[in-house]
Amino acid sequence: MADALHHPDLQIGVLYADHSDPLSSVIPLADAPAAVSVTRRTINRWIAAKRLRVITPPGTTGRYVIKRELLACERDRHLASHQGRPGARVRLDALT
């Protein structure tokens, strides 16, 4: 994957892990929390749990995350928070 990060797009400020996939663009780690409306602590937990990889492309000093992985973590978080809960308009006695 490191070889995929050596490409001309580095010169214009756009990095891709895979050129054929637009969601494989990388964003700075510092911008990741705002991109998916979570805290930096949540991002750090995803990294510690190995659900989100941090990339440091050769020749750069910044740390980046892949947009697709970031969106997948947020989707999983959203689905887990709503799992098993009845909707607001569902009568509880109707469930029995």
Domain extent listing, the chain: 2-95
What mean pLDDT comes out for the span 90-95? Answer: 61
Instruction: List, for residues 27-38, the tens digit of each pLDDT value.
Output: 899 999 999 999
CA angle (45 as vertex; 43, 49 as ends), nearest 5: 120
Can you give the pLDDT at residue 33? 94
**With pLDDT > 70 as the criterion, what percentage of the chain qualifies?**
59
- Give dist(CA 96, CA 81) in Å, integer: 23
CA angle (39 as vertex; 85, 31 as ends), nearest 5: 125
Which residues lie closer than 8 Å to 7 by C-beta, 6 or more apart? 16, 19
CA angle (16 as vertex; 4, 68 as ends), nearest 5: 115
